[in-house]
Amino acid sequence: MSALSIDWPSTDFSRVPYAVFVDPEIYAREQERIFKGPYWCYLALEAEIPKPGDYVVVYVGDAPVVVARGRDGKVNAFVNRCAHRGSTVVRALQGHADDFTCVYHHWRYDLEGHLLSVPFQRGIAGQGGMPPSFDRKCHNLPILRVETYRGLAFGTFHADAPPLTAYLGPKMIEGIDRIFRKPIEILGYQRQRMPSNWKLYWENINDPYHAGLLHQMATTFGLTRITQGGAVILDEHKRHIRNYYYYEKGAREVAAAAYAQTKVFHDNLKLEDTSIVSPIDEFGDGILLDMIAIFPCLFIQQRGNGLLTRQIRPKSPDEFELYWTYFAYADDTPELRQRRLQQANMSGPGGLVAMEDGESGVLVQRAIKRQMEHHSVLEMGGVGPIEDHHHLCTEVSLRGFWLNYHAAMQFGAG
Amino acid sequence: MIEPALLEAAVELYTLYADHLDNFEWPEWLDLFDANASYRVTTRDNESRGLPAGIMLCANRAMLEDRVNAARFANVYRQHYNRHILSQPRIWLREDGDIGASCSFAVMQTDQDGAAFIFAVGKYQDALAWQDERLIFKAKAVILDNSRVTTSMPIPL
């Protein structure tokens, strides 16, 4: 039986077959149906390529893509694969260029991915060269549609993707407007290689149920506790998710009582320096942690004064890279900038909170290897309709993801 | 010309640093830092582009102790051992009176699967000072050649 006709035993997606995390056929189909499907994939922040000719090399799914700012100021994206013999055209991960020349046979492309010139196209002294029928216009690099919103650049391979703002929808745009409310600067990057399936990470980040249990630094110091209140908000298609958590309102004793049945609340754990767990509410709306997940590969996050994006870059069924980009507001005071840098200790591969997100996926991947006929259980927060929840004791948004994933993948359709 | 006694003291400091760290001898390891010593881990990519964010950033020894205690008592991660292999340090005298030092390192990691792999490669870029007839760290920067980290980095390098 092909894994592509696997059984999904519940129509509300409260069961997820483990095969989706393991099977190479499914992985291959994801690259076609999701990462080249009618969805917008995050590419980069416009602040990374401020000037015409600036470029970065990123990934859409597992396809390498160049994102370059053109002479007209617009952001372009094209596949980093020479139209001639398939060589990598742009070899640096970031930089500045007037145009791009493949080193193999020096085919040259402009900042939009159009083929500009082919050496010896007319041959030498009447001998050799390309045939008269060769038309340079037919040999551009594969070009993605690009749209930007508030400094976030997205690309799609698919002609049927709706306009970007319609794709994001008003509920996600509200969250994006909040975080990208003023000009930003890049603070740095992290790359993290995870020996697990990329969708396990999507599930992890969008699951507030785990956040107040797995992350004991966060529960102990009031950074993410289920008791602090918040919401899980879905877009109209249930594919994008905004999770937010408020600053703790009740006393530490209230949380300690609620957590009495667990072992994750450490009364004896003290910090010598509390600066990294003492953010200031610079937004003035009481939201401590705001995470916006844009299907299929982007997370935008504000934790206290820490600001970042995470992009999922799948590599194989059991491996992905997580690409972290830290940013700040251009008008930060030096004191606020320092707070952001210190609070970055919570995130990334060394993140006092985030390190466990990567570990959890590995624990799952290791255990499900030969469990293809079994399913995970998503019932926290209830079964049935997939809707917004104004509390954090829920896994509902994961069912929204699987609803969309299932539709995109066309399981059972051969 | 670097005095042989200075080089010898620096070699002793780096040797103790790696051995205490790999043996989880935390009080002894922390004792190699000045109370105001900064400690950070970043990548060569970030460093060469002048980008200030890294993987760990401790402004003083108290924050570094918090990191150690988080790894010991709070964080959840795979059980593993790290093994540091260090080069001979390069030493120079800085204009601010501290001693500049750099030292290449490789960290092999052995996890529960039983295999060892190269977890990190890079160099230390440090400031040292004399205290009680021994050298200690006034500032330490761990600059990784590998720009990507496998799974997570719960323990300082």
Interface pTM (ipTM) of the complex?
0.95
SS percent in chain A: helix, strand, coil, step 5? 25, 25, 45
Cα distance from A326 to chain B (closest Cα, Å)? 7
For A143, the token pair is 């070009």
- Please indicate whether, in this complex, the C-beta atoms of B51 and A186 are within 8 angstroms of each other: yes
Preceding peptide of B27 cis, ω within 30°: no
Q: pLDDT digits over B8-17, tens only? A: 999 999 999 9
Query: Which of A210-220 are b and which e, b meaning 16 or more Cβ less than 10 Å from the residue's Cβ?
Result: bbbbbbbbbbb
Q: pLDDT digits over A394-414, tens only? A: 999 999 999 999 999 988 754
Q: Where are the alpha helices (DSSP H) in A227-320?
A: 252-258
Look at strands A75-79 and A94-96 and give their pairing: unpaired
Provide the 3-class DSSP secondary structure of residue A345: helix
Cβ contacts (< 8 Å) between B69 and chain A: which residues?
Answer: 269
Residue range A156-165: mean pLDDT, rounded: 97
- Please indicate whether, in this complex, the C-beta atoms of B43 and A189 are within 8 angstroms of each other: yes
For A140, other C-beta atoms within 10 Å of its C-beta total 16
- Write down the pLDDT at residue A373: 83
Q: Is B36 an 8 Å CB contact of chain A?
A: no
pLDDT at A223 over 80: no
Q: pLDDT digits over A83-125, tens only? A: 999 999 999 999 999 999 999 999 999 999 999 999 999 999 9
High-pLDDT (> 70) share of chain A, %: 94
- For residue B150, the chain A residue with the least C-alpha distance is A193
Q: What one-letter code names the amino acid at A301? A: Q
- Write down the pLDDT at residue A138: 97
Residue that has been written with the tokens 């970043």 in this structure: B42
Q: pLDDT digits over B98-148, tens only? A: 899 999 999 999 988 899 999 999 999 999 999 999 999 999 999 999 999
Residue that has been written with the tokens 């990507």 in this structure: B148
- Spatial separation of the C-alpha atoms in residues A333 and A349, rounded to whole Å: 27
- Please indicate whether, in this complex, the C-beta atoms of B77 and A359 are within 8 angstroms of each other: yes
Residue range A354-383: mean pLDDT, rounded: 89
Cβ contacts (< 8 Å) between A269 and chain B: which residues?
Answer: 69, 73-74
Lowest model confidence (mean pLDDT) among A259-268, A380-389, A395-404: A259-268
Q: How confident is the model at residue B92 (pLDDT cuts 50, 70, 90)?
A: very high
- Spatial separation of the C-alpha atoms in residues A366 and A374, rounded to whole Å: 14
- Write down the pLDDT at residue B120: 98
Q: Is A348 an 8 Å CB contact of chain B?
A: yes
- Write down the pLDDT at residue A2: 65
Name which of B52, B54, B77 is nearest A356 (Cβ-Cβ). B77
Q: How confident is the model at residue B76 (pLDDT cuts 50, 70, 90)?
A: confident
Name which of B52, B78, B150 is nearest A341 (Cβ-Cβ). B52
Residue range B91-95: mean pLDDT, rounded: 93
User: What Cα–Cα distance (Å) separates residue A403 from each residue in A147, A237, A398?
Assistant: 26, 9, 9
Q: Is B30 an 8 Å CB contact of chain A?
A: no
High-pLDDT (> 90) share of chain A, %: 76
Under DSSP, the state recorded for A22 is T
Lowest model confidence (mean pLDDT) among A269-278, A290-299, A341-350: A269-278
- Spatial separation of the C-alpha atoms in residues A171 and A154, rounded to whole Å: 18
What's phi and psi for A34, nearest 5 deg? -105, -60
Q: How confident is the model at residue A25 (pLDDT cuts 50, 70, 90)?
A: very high
Give me the residues of B, 75-114, that contact A with CB < 8 A: 75-78
Mean pLDDT (chain B, rounded): 95
- Spatial separation of the C-alpha atoms in residues A316 and A82, rounded to whole Å: 23
- Write down the pLDDT at residue A414: 45
- Please indicate whether, in this complex, the C-beta atoms of B149 and A192 are within 8 angstroms of each other: yes
- Write down the pLDDT at residue A247: 84
- Spatial separation of the C-alpha atoms in residues A99 and A110, rounded to whole Å: 5
Length of chain A: 414
Look at strands A94-96 and A54-60 and give their pairing: antiparallel
pTM summary value: 0.94
pLDDT at B20 over 70: yes
For A224, the token pair is 């993410």
Contact B121, B55 (CB under 8 A): no
User: What Cα–Cα distance (Å) separates residue B51 from each residue in A116, A183, B11, B48?
Assistant: 35, 17, 30, 8
Q: pLDDT digits over A297-317, tens only? A: 999 999 999 999 999 999 999
Q: Which of A49, A265, A272, A362 to mutate to test the interface with B (most CBs of B within 10 A)?
A: A272
For A78, the token pair is 């094209």
Contact A331, A170 (CB under 8 A): no
Contact A239, A398 (CB under 8 A): no
For A65, the token pair is 């893509």
Q: Strand (E) positions, A123-172?
A: 143-149, 152-156
Contact B137, B115 (CB under 8 A): no
Return all residues near A298 (Cβ < 8 A) that are at least 6 apart.
A41, A42, A152, A309, A310, A311, A312
- Count of CA atoms in the C-beta half-sphere (13 A) of B72: 14
Which one, of A408, A400, A380, A375, lies nearest residue A16 by Cα? A375
- Please indicate whether, in this complex, the C-beta atoms of B51 and A321 are within 8 angstroms of each other: no
Residue range A226-239: mean pLDDT, rounded: 90
Residue range A74-82: mean pLDDT, rounded: 98
Q: What one-letter code names the amino acid at B45? A: D
Contact A359, B76 (CB under 8 A): yes
High-pLDDT (> 90) share of chain B, %: 87
Q: Is B152 an 8 Å CB contact of chain A?
A: yes
Q: How confident is the model at residue A210 (pLDDT cuts 50, 70, 90)?
A: confident
- Write down the pLDDT at residue A353: 86
Alpha carbon dihedral A190, A195, A201, A203, in 10-degree steps, equals -170
- Spatial separation of the C-alpha atoms in residues B14 and A100, rounded to whole Å: 46
- Give me the residues paired with residue A75 across strands: A69
- Spatial separation of the C-alpha atoms in residues A144 and A125, rounded to whole Å: 38
Under DSSP, the state recorded for A393 is S
Length of chain B: 157
Name which of B55, B77, B154 is nearest A190 (Cβ-Cβ). B55
